[in-house]
Amino acid sequence: MSPTDGKGPRAQRKAARPMEILEAAFEEFSAQGYAATRVEDIARRVGVTKGTVYVYFESKEVLFGEMMRHLSTPLADTRAHIRSLEGPYPQRIEAFVRYVYQRLVADRKTRELLRLVVAEGARFPHLADRQDEEFMQPLCDAAGEMIREGVACGAFRPTPLAEIPELLISPALLRAVEHLMFDDRRSTDLEDFIAAHLELLWSALLPCEERTGTNGRTARPDA
């Protein structure tokens, strides 16, 4: 039974408050950083006053922690999603790579989570650990496994990518960091970038004779 079931408008509002506050906290904390964010700003964004925020969260620090936890939860299904990929290995790799760009570059929430971890990680070390546990490690493990399978069944050549899958996702991270630094001021075409990234991967993964230069699908994604 959901918390909004069979309740009057008062109870519904109350039930919705914590989430509203977490969303507003995300906007403010990611834009200003922890120390520079005022609880009053978060409250104003929700349309209430500071006192209300303290009804739902006992302190600014707790609110920040809860907000980070809230941000991290959608990452939990990363591993399952990746394991569900099907088809020939190169296409699986491409789907995987596009998924990584989707999360790390296109999805603002994940991107800003990265900013907060880098910016505030020194004072909240568990943030980095959770982010790694729930996102980076699953991603890398799944990628490594996929590549080793591909190698085992002869689709891919042996490659250090199998042992160090971070190499596979690093270009996406670079785009994410660029995005964090310049927002939208320096945006070269992402599709071109991904195409080049895939090209680089094929040269490492595919046997020489299969490298045509247009493996997988490097064309724009259409329906």
Residues that bind DNA (CB under 7 A): 7-11, 13-14, 17, 37-40, 43, 47-52, 54-55, 58-61
Distance of CA 81 to the CA centre of its chain: 13
What, of a copy of itself, DNA, none, does residue 10 touch, CB below 5 to 8 Å by kind? DNA
Query: Shortest distance, CB of residue 125 to DNA, whole angstroms?
Result: 20
What, of DNA, a copy of itself, none, does residue 148 touch, CB below 5 to 8 Å by kind? none
Are 201 and 97 a contacting pair, CB within 8 Å? yes
Closest CA to 42 of 55, 24, 29: 24
* Phi, psi angle pair for 206, to nearest 5°: -90, 150
In b/e form, how buried is each residue of 125-156, taking b as 16+ CB within 10 angstroms?
eebeebbeebbbebbbebbbebbbebbeeebb
Q: Which is nearer to a copy of itself, 53 or 205 (CB)?
A: 205
Distance of CA 107 to the CA centre of its chain: 7
Distance of CA 145 to the CA centre of its chain: 20
Query: Shortest distance, CB of residue 28 to DNA, whole angstroms?
Result: 10
Q: Which is nearer to DNA, 48 or 167 (CB)?
A: 48
Query: Shortest distance, CB of residue 198 to DNA, whole angstroms?
Result: 45
What, of a copy of itself, DNA, none, does residue 39 touch, CB below 5 to 8 Å by kind? DNA
What, of DNA, a copy of itself, none, does residue 171 touch, CB below 5 to 8 Å by kind? a copy of itself
Specify the 3-state DSSP secondary structure of 88.
coil
What, of DNA, a copy of itself, none, does residue 173 touch, CB below 5 to 8 Å by kind? a copy of itself
Here the tokens at position 102 are: 């989707």
Q: Which is nearer to a copy of itself, 63 or 114 (CB)?
A: 114
